[in-house]
Chains A and B, each alone.
Chain A
Protein backbone atom coordinates (compact mmCIF):
# COMPACT_ATOMS: atom_id res chain seq x y z
CA UNK A 1 0.00 0.00 0.00
CA UNK A 2 2.99 2.33 0.48
CA UNK A 3 5.96 3.27 -1.64
CA UNK A 4 8.43 3.59 1.23
CA UNK A 5 11.32 1.11 1.38
CA UNK A 6 10.72 -2.03 3.40
CA UNK A 7 12.80 -3.33 6.32
CA UNK A 8 14.18 -5.98 3.97
CA UNK A 9 15.23 -3.26 1.51
CA UNK A 10 16.98 -1.30 4.24
CA UNK A 11 18.82 -4.34 5.62
CA UNK A 12 20.03 -5.30 2.14
CA UNK A 13 21.19 -1.75 1.40
CA UNK A 14 23.17 -1.66 4.63
CA UNK A 15 24.64 -5.13 4.03
CA UNK A 16 25.76 -4.12 0.52
CA UNK A 17 27.21 -0.86 1.76
CA UNK A 18 24.87 1.22 -0.42
CA UNK A 19 23.98 3.22 2.66
CA UNK A 20 25.27 3.28 6.22
CA UNK A 21 23.14 2.49 9.23
CA UNK A 22 23.92 5.98 10.55
CA UNK A 23 22.56 7.55 7.35
CA UNK A 24 19.33 5.56 7.73
CA UNK A 25 19.03 6.47 11.40
CA UNK A 26 19.71 10.15 10.71
CA UNK A 27 17.11 10.22 7.95
CA UNK A 28 14.52 8.50 10.15
CA UNK A 29 15.17 10.89 13.04
CA UNK A 30 14.88 13.90 10.72
CA UNK A 31 11.58 12.67 9.37
CA UNK A 32 10.26 12.00 12.88
CA UNK A 33 11.24 15.53 13.89
CA UNK A 34 9.49 16.96 10.83
CA UNK A 35 6.30 14.86 10.76
CA UNK A 36 5.61 13.76 14.30
CA UNK A 37 4.14 17.10 15.43
CA UNK A 38 1.35 16.54 12.88
CA UNK A 39 0.80 12.81 13.41
CA UNK A 40 1.68 12.38 17.11
CA UNK A 41 2.91 8.82 16.72
CA UNK A 42 5.89 9.15 19.11
CA UNK A 43 5.84 9.93 22.82
CA UNK A 44 9.64 9.66 23.14
CA UNK A 45 12.45 9.74 20.57
CA UNK A 46 15.63 7.84 21.43
CA UNK A 47 17.94 9.72 19.05
CA UNK A 48 21.15 9.12 20.99
CA UNK A 49 20.49 5.41 21.27
CA UNK A 50 19.52 5.15 17.59
CA UNK A 51 22.79 6.72 16.48
CA UNK A 52 24.83 4.53 18.85
CA UNK A 53 23.12 1.36 17.62
CA UNK A 54 23.60 2.44 14.01
CA UNK A 55 27.27 3.17 14.59
CA UNK A 56 27.69 -0.30 16.08
CA UNK A 57 26.25 -1.86 12.91
CA UNK A 58 28.50 0.28 10.70
CA UNK A 59 31.52 -0.79 12.78
CA UNK A 60 30.59 -4.46 12.35
CA UNK A 61 30.42 -3.98 8.60
CA UNK A 62 33.76 -2.20 8.47
CA UNK A 63 35.28 -5.12 10.39
CA UNK A 64 33.92 -7.57 7.81
CA UNK A 65 31.54 -9.27 10.24
CA UNK A 66 28.42 -11.06 9.04
CA UNK A 67 25.62 -8.63 9.72
CA UNK A 68 22.49 -9.69 11.64
CA UNK A 69 19.18 -9.92 9.71
CA UNK A 70 17.81 -6.48 10.61
CA UNK A 71 21.13 -4.63 10.49
CA UNK A 72 20.53 -0.89 10.44
CA UNK A 73 16.72 -1.10 10.16
CA UNK A 74 15.06 1.75 12.11
CA UNK A 75 12.03 0.80 14.21
CA UNK A 76 10.02 1.91 17.23
CA UNK A 77 7.94 0.25 19.95
CA UNK A 78 4.58 0.86 21.58
CA UNK A 79 5.24 2.65 24.85
CA UNK A 80 4.26 -0.34 26.99
CA UNK A 81 7.60 -2.03 26.17
CA UNK A 82 10.41 -1.33 28.60
CA UNK A 83 13.18 0.64 26.93
CA UNK A 84 16.25 1.16 29.09
CA UNK A 85 16.51 4.80 30.12
CA UNK A 86 12.94 5.93 29.46
CA UNK A 87 9.77 5.60 31.52
CA UNK A 88 7.29 2.93 30.40
CA UNK A 89 4.01 4.82 30.05
CA UNK A 90 1.49 2.32 28.64
CA UNK A 91 -0.28 5.46 27.42
CA UNK A 92 -1.09 6.43 30.98
CA UNK A 93 -0.32 9.54 33.02
CA UNK A 94 -0.46 7.23 36.03
CA UNK A 95 3.04 6.06 35.18
CA UNK A 96 4.56 9.36 34.05
CA UNK A 97 6.48 9.89 37.28
CA UNK A 98 7.86 6.35 37.40
CA UNK A 99 11.59 5.79 37.18
CA UNK A 100 12.97 4.98 33.72
CA UNK A 101 13.21 1.29 32.85
CA UNK A 102 16.54 -0.22 33.87
CA UNK A 103 16.68 -2.67 30.97
CA UNK A 104 15.01 -3.45 27.67
CA UNK A 105 11.99 -5.71 27.32
CA UNK A 106 12.91 -9.13 25.94
CA UNK A 107 11.66 -8.35 22.43
CA UNK A 108 13.44 -4.99 22.35
CA UNK A 109 16.66 -6.78 23.33
CA UNK A 110 16.05 -9.32 20.55
CA UNK A 111 15.53 -6.55 17.99
CA UNK A 112 18.82 -5.04 19.12
CA UNK A 113 20.56 -8.40 18.75
CA UNK A 114 19.09 -8.64 15.26
CA UNK A 115 20.72 -5.32 14.39
CA UNK A 116 17.63 -3.08 14.39
CA UNK A 117 17.94 0.55 15.46
CA UNK A 118 15.45 1.87 18.02
CA UNK A 119 14.13 5.36 17.27
CA UNK A 120 11.65 5.72 20.13
CA UNK A 121 8.43 4.83 21.94
CA UNK A 122 5.00 5.13 20.35
CA UNK A 123 1.64 6.48 21.46
CA UNK A 124 -1.26 4.19 22.36
CA UNK A 125 -4.64 4.11 24.05
CA UNK A 126 -4.20 4.46 27.80
CA UNK A 127 -3.52 1.03 29.37
CA UNK A 128 -4.08 -0.48 25.85
CA UNK A 129 -7.82 -0.23 26.58
CA UNK A 130 -9.16 1.16 23.31
CA UNK A 131 -9.20 0.88 19.53
CA UNK A 132 -8.67 4.50 18.44
CA UNK A 133 -5.58 5.98 20.20
CA UNK A 134 -7.57 9.02 21.26
CA UNK A 135 -5.49 9.63 24.34
CA UNK A 136 -6.61 12.52 26.54
CA UNK A 137 -3.20 13.01 28.18
CA UNK A 138 -0.84 12.26 25.26
CA UNK A 139 -3.03 13.38 22.36
CA UNK A 140 -4.72 11.61 19.49
CA UNK A 141 -2.52 9.81 16.99
CA UNK A 142 -3.66 10.87 13.52
CA UNK A 143 -3.91 8.55 10.57
CA UNK A 144 -1.24 9.64 8.04
CA UNK A 145 -3.55 8.56 5.19
CA UNK A 146 -6.21 11.03 6.37
CA UNK A 147 -5.26 13.14 9.42
CA UNK A 148 -8.93 13.70 10.30
CA UNK A 149 -9.21 9.98 11.04
CA UNK A 150 -7.84 7.79 13.79
CA UNK A 151 -4.89 5.46 13.29
CA UNK A 152 -6.67 2.68 15.15
CA UNK A 153 -5.62 1.29 18.48
CA UNK A 154 -4.51 0.51 20.89
CA UNK A 155 -1.17 0.35 19.02
CA UNK A 156 -2.05 3.49 17.01
CA UNK A 157 1.46 4.93 17.05
CA UNK A 158 2.82 1.66 15.62
CA UNK A 159 0.58 1.90 12.58
CA UNK A 160 0.94 5.64 12.08
CA UNK A 161 4.76 5.71 12.32
CA UNK A 162 5.00 3.18 9.48
CA UNK A 163 2.23 4.67 7.33
CA UNK A 164 3.88 8.10 7.65
CA UNK A 165 7.17 6.65 6.42
CA UNK A 166 9.05 7.39 9.64
CA UNK A 167 10.14 3.76 10.17
CA UNK A 168 9.55 0.56 8.17
CA UNK A 169 8.52 -1.54 11.17
CA UNK A 170 7.40 -1.47 14.79
CA UNK A 171 6.42 -3.69 17.69
CA UNK A 172 3.02 -3.56 19.37
CA UNK A 173 0.61 -5.57 21.45
CA UNK A 174 -2.74 -7.18 20.68
CA UNK A 175 -5.17 -8.18 23.42
CA UNK A 176 -8.42 -7.87 21.48
CA UNK A 177 -7.23 -6.56 18.12
CA UNK A 178 -4.64 -3.88 18.86
CA UNK A 179 -2.20 -5.02 16.16
CA UNK A 180 -4.87 -5.91 13.61
CA UNK A 181 -6.97 -2.74 13.92
CA UNK A 182 -4.13 -0.23 13.32
CA UNK A 183 -2.85 -2.44 10.49
CA UNK A 184 -6.28 -2.24 8.90
CA UNK A 185 -6.74 1.50 9.41
CA UNK A 186 -3.21 2.51 8.40
CA UNK A 187 -2.83 0.13 5.45
CA UNK A 188 0.12 -1.90 6.72
CA UNK A 189 0.93 -5.52 7.52
CA UNK A 190 0.76 -7.01 11.00
CA UNK A 191 1.10 -10.32 12.77
CA UNK A 192 -0.57 -11.39 15.98
CA UNK A 193 1.24 -14.65 16.73
CA UNK A 194 -0.23 -17.56 18.70
CA UNK A 195 -0.91 -16.78 22.34
CA UNK A 196 2.25 -17.70 24.23
CA UNK A 197 4.56 -17.60 21.22
CA UNK A 198 6.48 -14.38 21.87
CA UNK A 199 7.60 -13.58 25.41
CA UNK A 200 6.03 -10.54 27.01
CA UNK A 201 8.65 -10.09 29.73
CA UNK A 202 9.49 -6.44 30.20
CA UNK A 203 6.20 -5.18 28.79
CA UNK A 204 3.40 -3.81 30.95
CA UNK A 205 0.52 -6.32 31.18
CA UNK A 206 -3.03 -5.27 30.31
CA UNK A 207 -4.99 -8.56 30.33
CA UNK A 208 -2.45 -11.31 31.07
CA UNK A 209 -4.77 -14.08 29.83
CA UNK A 210 -5.14 -12.43 26.42
CA UNK A 211 -2.06 -10.25 25.83
CA UNK A 212 0.04 -10.96 22.72
CA UNK A 213 3.01 -9.04 21.27
CA UNK A 214 3.89 -8.87 17.59
CA UNK A 215 5.35 -6.92 14.66
CA UNK A 216 4.00 -4.37 12.15
CA UNK A 217 5.71 -3.80 8.79
CA UNK A 218 5.29 -2.88 5.12
CA UNK A 219 5.21 -6.35 3.57
CA UNK A 220 4.60 -9.98 4.44
CA UNK A 221 8.30 -10.65 3.91
CA UNK A 222 9.22 -7.95 6.44
CA UNK A 223 6.79 -9.34 8.99
CA UNK A 224 8.28 -12.84 8.60
CA UNK A 225 11.83 -11.49 8.85
CA UNK A 226 11.09 -9.61 12.07
CA UNK A 227 8.93 -12.34 13.57
CA UNK A 228 11.69 -14.91 13.07
CA UNK A 229 14.14 -12.61 14.87
CA UNK A 230 11.74 -12.29 17.83
CA UNK A 231 11.01 -15.97 18.43
CA UNK A 232 12.42 -18.16 21.19
CA UNK A 233 11.65 -19.13 24.77
CA UNK A 234 11.91 -16.89 27.82
CA UNK A 235 11.15 -18.32 31.24
CA UNK A 236 10.40 -14.85 32.64
CA UNK A 237 6.99 -14.86 30.91
CA UNK A 238 4.85 -17.56 32.61
CA UNK A 239 2.47 -17.68 29.64
CA UNK A 240 5.26 -18.13 27.09
CA UNK A 241 5.09 -21.58 25.52
CA UNK A 242 8.89 -21.84 25.56
CA UNK A 243 9.07 -23.14 22.00
CA UNK A 244 12.23 -23.00 19.93
CA UNK A 245 12.28 -20.74 16.87
CA UNK A 246 10.25 -22.15 13.97
CA UNK A 247 11.47 -19.98 11.08
CA UNK A 248 8.82 -18.78 8.64
CA UNK A 249 10.94 -16.89 6.11
CA UNK A 250 12.45 -19.90 4.28
CA UNK A 251 9.05 -21.23 3.15
CA UNK A 252 7.31 -17.89 2.68
CA UNK A 253 7.32 -18.00 -1.12
CA UNK A 254 5.54 -21.33 -1.18
CA UNK A 255 2.47 -19.13 -0.84
CA UNK A 256 -0.82 -21.03 -0.86
CA UNK A 257 0.66 -24.16 -2.40
CA UNK A 258 -1.35 -27.00 -0.89
CA UNK A 259 -3.33 -24.71 1.45
CA UNK A 260 -7.10 -24.96 1.76
CA UNK A 261 -8.56 -21.47 2.24
CA UNK A 262 -12.11 -20.65 3.33
CA UNK A 263 -14.06 -17.52 4.22
CA UNK A 264 -15.49 -17.13 7.72
CA UNK A 265 -19.20 -16.35 7.51
CA UNK A 266 -21.83 -15.82 10.20
CA UNK A 267 -20.75 -13.20 12.75
CA UNK A 268 -17.76 -12.25 10.57
CA UNK A 269 -19.96 -11.41 7.59
CA UNK A 270 -22.83 -9.93 9.57
CA UNK A 271 -20.56 -7.33 11.18
CA UNK A 272 -18.49 -6.54 8.08
CA UNK A 273 -19.52 -3.37 6.24
CA UNK A 274 -19.51 -2.88 2.48
CA UNK A 275 -15.78 -2.19 2.09
CA UNK A 276 -14.88 -4.99 4.47
CA UNK A 277 -16.95 -7.54 2.55
CA UNK A 278 -15.48 -6.39 -0.75
CA UNK A 279 -11.94 -6.76 0.61
CA UNK A 280 -12.63 -10.29 1.84
CA UNK A 281 -14.16 -11.17 -1.54
CA UNK A 282 -11.01 -9.94 -3.27
CA UNK A 283 -8.78 -11.90 -0.90
CA UNK A 284 -10.94 -15.00 -1.41
CA UNK A 285 -10.56 -14.70 -5.17
CA UNK A 286 -6.78 -14.26 -5.02
CA UNK A 287 -6.35 -17.10 -2.52
CA UNK A 288 -8.80 -19.37 -4.32
CA UNK A 289 -11.08 -19.75 -1.32
CA UNK A 290 -14.06 -21.81 -2.36
CA UNK A 291 -15.98 -22.44 0.86
CA UNK A 292 -17.67 -20.28 3.44
CA UNK A 293 -17.61 -21.77 6.92
CA UNK A 294 -19.00 -20.67 10.25
CA UNK A 295 -17.43 -20.57 13.67
CA UNK A 296 -20.51 -21.00 15.83
CA UNK A 297 -20.91 -19.32 19.22
CA UNK A 298 -18.83 -16.34 18.12
CA UNK A 299 -21.15 -13.84 19.81
CA UNK A 300 -20.62 -15.65 23.11
CA UNK A 301 -16.86 -15.82 22.47
CA UNK A 302 -16.70 -12.11 21.83
CA UNK A 303 -18.66 -11.49 25.03
CA UNK A 304 -16.26 -13.74 26.93
CA UNK A 305 -13.24 -11.81 25.66
CA UNK A 306 -14.97 -8.61 26.73
CA UNK A 307 -15.62 -9.96 30.24
CA UNK A 308 -12.08 -11.31 30.71
CA UNK A 309 -10.68 -7.99 29.54
CA UNK A 310 -12.90 -5.92 31.82
CA UNK A 311 -12.32 -8.12 34.87
CA UNK A 312 -8.54 -8.54 34.59
CA UNK A 313 -7.87 -4.91 33.66
CA UNK A 314 -10.27 -3.63 36.30
CA UNK A 315 -8.62 -5.75 38.96
CA UNK A 316 -5.11 -4.72 37.90
CA UNK A 317 -5.95 -1.03 38.21
CA UNK A 318 -8.13 -1.24 41.33
CA UNK A 319 -5.41 0.04 43.72
CA UNK A 320 -4.84 3.13 41.57
CA UNK A 321 -8.59 3.60 41.06
CA UNK A 322 -8.85 3.84 44.84
CA UNK A 323 -5.86 6.07 45.39
CA UNK A 324 -5.43 8.24 42.26
CA UNK A 325 -8.68 8.33 40.29
CA UNK A 326 -7.93 11.85 39.04
CA UNK A 327 -4.89 10.58 37.10
CA UNK A 328 -6.89 8.16 34.94
CA UNK A 329 -7.81 8.52 31.30
CA UNK A 330 -11.36 9.92 31.49
CA UNK A 331 -12.50 7.86 28.48
CA UNK A 332 -11.62 4.66 30.32
CA UNK A 333 -11.77 5.20 34.07
CA UNK A 334 -15.35 4.13 34.71
CA UNK A 335 -15.03 1.17 32.33
CA UNK A 336 -12.09 -0.01 34.45
CA UNK A 337 -14.07 0.63 37.62
CA UNK A 338 -16.99 -1.39 36.28
CA UNK A 339 -14.61 -4.21 35.37
CA UNK A 340 -13.26 -4.28 38.91
CA UNK A 341 -16.78 -4.91 40.19
CA UNK A 342 -17.87 -7.68 37.79
CA UNK A 343 -19.36 -10.83 39.33
CA UNK A 344 -16.80 -13.64 39.58
CA UNK A 345 -19.29 -16.06 38.00
CA UNK A 346 -19.13 -14.14 34.74
CA UNK A 347 -15.36 -14.33 34.58
CA UNK A 348 -15.32 -18.06 35.28
CA UNK A 349 -18.02 -18.65 32.66
CA UNK A 350 -15.86 -16.74 30.15
CA UNK A 351 -12.78 -18.84 30.89
CA UNK A 352 -14.76 -22.07 30.54
CA UNK A 353 -16.15 -21.01 27.17
CA UNK A 354 -12.61 -20.39 25.97
CA UNK A 355 -11.72 -24.08 25.88
CA UNK A 356 -14.96 -25.00 24.13
CA UNK A 357 -14.65 -22.29 21.46
CA UNK A 358 -11.03 -23.29 20.85
CA UNK A 359 -12.22 -26.85 20.16
CA UNK A 360 -14.75 -25.53 17.65
CA UNK A 361 -12.05 -23.65 15.78
CA UNK A 362 -9.82 -26.73 15.81
CA UNK A 363 -12.63 -28.69 14.15
CA UNK A 364 -12.77 -26.14 11.30
CA UNK A 365 -9.02 -26.48 10.81
CA UNK A 366 -9.39 -30.19 10.16
CA UNK A 367 -10.78 -29.20 6.76
CA UNK A 368 -9.13 -25.83 6.11
CA UNK A 369 -5.68 -24.32 6.66
CA UNK A 370 -6.50 -20.62 6.42
CA UNK A 371 -9.69 -18.75 7.29
CA UNK A 372 -10.43 -15.25 6.01
CA UNK A 373 -12.28 -12.42 7.73
CA UNK A 374 -12.14 -8.64 7.64
CA UNK A 375 -10.01 -7.08 10.38
CA UNK A 376 -12.37 -4.17 11.04
CA UNK A 377 -16.03 -3.58 10.22
CA UNK A 378 -15.09 -0.48 8.19
CA UNK A 379 -12.06 1.66 7.19
CA UNK A 380 -10.64 4.23 9.65
CA UNK A 381 -13.27 6.19 11.55
CA UNK A 382 -13.11 9.95 12.09
CA UNK A 383 -11.48 11.41 15.20
CA UNK A 384 -14.19 11.91 17.81
CA UNK A 385 -16.72 9.78 15.94
CA UNK A 386 -19.12 8.21 18.42
CA UNK A 387 -21.19 5.79 16.35
CA UNK A 388 -20.88 3.86 13.09
CA UNK A 389 -23.35 2.11 10.83
CA UNK A 390 -22.67 -1.55 10.11
CA UNK A 391 -25.11 -2.98 7.61
CA UNK A 392 -27.95 -0.82 8.89
CA UNK A 393 -27.20 -1.15 12.61
CA UNK A 394 -25.89 1.92 14.43
CA UNK A 395 -23.35 0.93 17.10
CA UNK A 396 -20.89 2.87 19.31
CA UNK A 397 -17.48 3.09 17.64
CA UNK A 398 -15.02 2.53 20.49
CA UNK A 399 -16.21 -0.82 21.87
CA UNK A 400 -17.15 -2.22 18.45
CA UNK A 401 -14.14 -1.66 16.19
CA UNK A 402 -12.88 -4.98 17.56
CA UNK A 403 -16.01 -6.93 16.69
CA UNK A 404 -14.13 -9.05 14.13
CA UNK A 405 -10.81 -9.38 15.94
CA UNK A 406 -11.87 -9.98 19.53
CA UNK A 407 -13.34 -13.52 19.18
CA UNK A 408 -10.16 -14.77 17.49
CA UNK A 409 -7.54 -13.45 19.91
CA UNK A 410 -9.78 -14.92 22.63
CA UNK A 411 -8.52 -18.36 21.54
CA UNK A 412 -5.01 -17.24 20.67
CA UNK A 413 -4.93 -18.17 16.98
CA UNK A 414 -2.07 -16.75 14.85
CA UNK A 415 -3.35 -14.10 12.45
CA UNK A 416 -1.64 -12.04 9.75
CA UNK A 417 -3.28 -8.87 8.43
CA UNK A 418 -2.93 -7.76 4.82
CA UNK A 419 -4.21 -4.31 3.80
CA UNK A 420 -6.38 -3.92 0.70
CA UNK A 421 -7.53 -0.77 -1.09
CA UNK A 422 -11.23 0.08 -0.98
CA UNK A 423 -13.56 2.10 -3.19
CA UNK A 424 -13.65 4.92 -0.62
CA UNK A 425 -9.89 5.45 -0.96
CA UNK A 426 -8.96 4.20 2.49
CA UNK A 427 -7.43 0.78 3.16
CA UNK A 428 -8.95 -2.05 5.14
CA UNK A 429 -7.26 -5.16 6.49
CA UNK A 430 -8.11 -8.81 5.92
CA UNK A 431 -7.27 -11.32 8.65
CA UNK A 432 -5.58 -14.54 7.52
CA UNK A 433 -6.22 -16.95 10.39
CA UNK A 434 -4.23 -20.15 10.87
CA UNK A 435 -4.32 -23.04 13.35
CA UNK A 436 -2.46 -22.54 16.62
CA UNK A 437 1.35 -22.44 16.22
CA UNK A 438 1.12 -22.23 12.42
CA UNK A 439 2.29 -18.64 11.89
CA UNK A 440 4.13 -20.03 8.88
CA UNK A 441 0.83 -20.74 7.13
CA UNK A 442 -0.79 -17.37 7.71
CA UNK A 443 2.41 -15.61 6.61
CA UNK A 444 2.60 -17.73 3.44
CA UNK A 445 -1.01 -16.81 2.69
CA UNK A 446 -0.25 -13.14 3.43
CA UNK A 447 2.67 -13.24 1.01
CA UNK A 448 0.50 -14.89 -1.66
CA UNK A 449 -2.24 -12.30 -1.21
CA UNK A 450 0.29 -9.46 -1.39
CA UNK A 451 1.75 -10.86 -4.60
CA UNK A 452 -1.72 -11.38 -6.05
CA UNK A 453 -2.72 -7.80 -5.27
CA UNK A 454 0.47 -6.43 -6.82
CA UNK A 455 -0.27 -8.35 -10.02
CA UNK A 456 -3.95 -7.36 -10.09
Chain B
Protein backbone atom coordinates (compact mmCIF):
# COMPACT_ATOMS: atom_id res chain seq x y z
CA UNK B 1 0.00 0.00 0.00
CA UNK B 2 1.26 3.46 -0.82
CA UNK B 3 2.25 5.57 2.18
CA UNK B 4 0.93 9.10 2.20
CA UNK B 5 3.62 11.78 2.33
CA UNK B 6 4.16 13.13 5.81
CA UNK B 7 3.35 16.79 5.69
CA UNK B 8 2.11 19.18 8.29
CA UNK B 9 -0.63 20.27 5.91
CA UNK B 10 -1.97 16.76 5.78
CA UNK B 11 -4.15 17.09 8.85
CA UNK B 12 -3.39 20.29 10.70
CA UNK B 13 -5.78 22.80 9.14
CA UNK B 14 -8.77 20.58 9.81
CA UNK B 15 -7.90 19.83 13.39
CA UNK B 16 -6.67 23.19 14.59
CA UNK B 17 -8.78 26.23 15.19
CA UNK B 18 -10.41 26.83 11.82
CA UNK B 19 -10.57 30.58 12.21
CA UNK B 20 -6.76 30.73 12.11
CA UNK B 21 -6.60 28.77 8.87
CA UNK B 22 -9.64 30.03 6.98
CA UNK B 23 -9.83 33.82 6.89
CA UNK B 24 -13.48 33.66 5.83
CA UNK B 25 -14.50 31.04 8.40
CA UNK B 26 -14.67 27.27 8.09
CA UNK B 27 -15.80 26.32 4.59
CA UNK B 28 -19.18 24.65 4.21
CA UNK B 29 -18.21 22.32 1.43
CA UNK B 30 -21.73 21.30 0.52
CA UNK B 31 -23.01 24.71 -0.43
CA UNK B 32 -21.23 27.98 0.19
CA UNK B 33 -18.92 29.58 -2.40
CA UNK B 34 -15.29 29.57 -1.32
CA UNK B 35 -12.63 32.23 -1.62
CA UNK B 36 -9.50 31.65 -3.67
CA UNK B 37 -7.51 31.44 -0.45
CA UNK B 38 -9.83 28.81 1.00
CA UNK B 39 -9.37 26.69 -2.10
CA UNK B 40 -5.60 26.98 -1.93
CA UNK B 41 -5.71 25.65 1.61
CA UNK B 42 -8.17 22.94 0.60
CA UNK B 43 -5.87 21.82 -2.24
CA UNK B 44 -2.83 21.77 0.03
CA UNK B 45 -4.66 19.54 2.49
CA UNK B 46 -6.43 17.16 0.15
CA UNK B 47 -3.56 16.79 -2.33
CA UNK B 48 -1.35 15.66 0.51
CA UNK B 49 -4.05 13.27 1.72
CA UNK B 50 -4.25 11.79 -1.78
CA UNK B 51 -0.50 11.52 -2.20
CA UNK B 52 -0.53 14.05 -5.02
CA UNK B 53 2.58 16.22 -5.01
CA UNK B 54 1.97 19.66 -6.47
CA UNK B 55 4.49 22.46 -6.85
CA UNK B 56 3.21 25.95 -5.97
CA UNK B 57 2.28 26.78 -9.57
CA UNK B 58 0.28 23.58 -10.03
CA UNK B 59 -1.28 23.96 -6.61
CA UNK B 60 -2.50 27.43 -7.56
CA UNK B 61 -3.89 26.16 -10.87
CA UNK B 62 -5.69 23.23 -9.23
CA UNK B 63 -7.18 25.67 -6.69
CA UNK B 64 -8.38 27.86 -9.55
CA UNK B 65 -9.95 24.85 -11.28
CA UNK B 66 -11.71 23.85 -8.06
CA UNK B 67 -12.97 27.38 -7.59
CA UNK B 68 -14.44 27.29 -11.12
CA UNK B 69 -15.98 23.86 -10.56
CA UNK B 70 -17.46 25.07 -7.28
CA UNK B 71 -19.04 28.03 -9.03
CA UNK B 72 -20.50 25.75 -11.68
CA UNK B 73 -21.67 23.26 -9.05
CA UNK B 74 -23.61 25.83 -7.07
CA UNK B 75 -27.08 25.10 -8.57
CA UNK B 76 -26.55 21.42 -7.76
CA UNK B 77 -25.32 22.04 -4.24
CA UNK B 78 -28.23 24.38 -3.57
CA UNK B 79 -30.76 21.88 -4.91
CA UNK B 80 -33.22 20.83 -2.16
CA UNK B 81 -33.08 17.04 -2.47
CA UNK B 82 -35.43 15.12 -0.17
CA UNK B 83 -34.63 12.12 1.98
CA UNK B 84 -36.29 9.84 -0.59
CA UNK B 85 -34.16 11.08 -3.50
CA UNK B 86 -31.89 8.09 -4.02
CA UNK B 87 -29.17 7.87 -6.61
CA UNK B 88 -29.73 5.89 -9.81
CA UNK B 89 -27.21 3.08 -9.59
CA UNK B 90 -26.30 0.88 -12.54
CA UNK B 91 -24.48 -1.78 -10.53
CA UNK B 92 -26.04 -5.22 -11.07
CA UNK B 93 -24.75 -8.06 -8.91
Contacts and interface: CB of A to CB of B under 8 A. Distances in A.
A316 to B, nearest CB: 13
B91 A345 contact: no
Contacts of A39: none
Contacts of A337: 47, 52, 54, 58, 62, 65
Contacts of B77: 303, 346, 349
Given A351-B87, A352-B86, A300 B52 contact: no
Nearest to A304: B76
Grouping DSSP codes into helix (H, G, I), strand (E, B) and loop, the A interface class, with mixed when no group exceeds half, is helix
Contacts of A318: 50, 52
A303 B52 contact: no
B87 A352 contact: yes
Contact of A334 (B29, B30, B61, B74): B61
A340 B90 contact: no
Interface residues of A, number: 39
B15 interface: no
B79 A349 contact: yes
Contacts of B79: 297, 300, 349, 353
Given A340-B50, A341-B50, A356-B85, A346 B90 contact: no
A356 B80 CA distance: 11
Interface in A325-369: 325, 334-335, 337-343, 345-346, 348-356, 358
B81 A303 contact: no
Contacts of B88: 351, 354-355, 358
28 contacts: A238-B91, A297-B79, A299-B75, A300-B75, A300-B79, A303-B75, A303-B77, A307-B69, A310-B69, A318-B50, A322-B50, A325-B58, A334-B62, A334-B65, A337-B52, A341-B52, A346-B30, A346-B73, A349-B77, A350-B76, A351-B89, A352-B81, A352-B85, A354-B87, A355-B87, A356-B81, A358-B88, A399-B72
The 5 closest A-B pairs by CB, nearest first: A351-B87, A338-B65, A303-B76, A355-B88, A300-B75
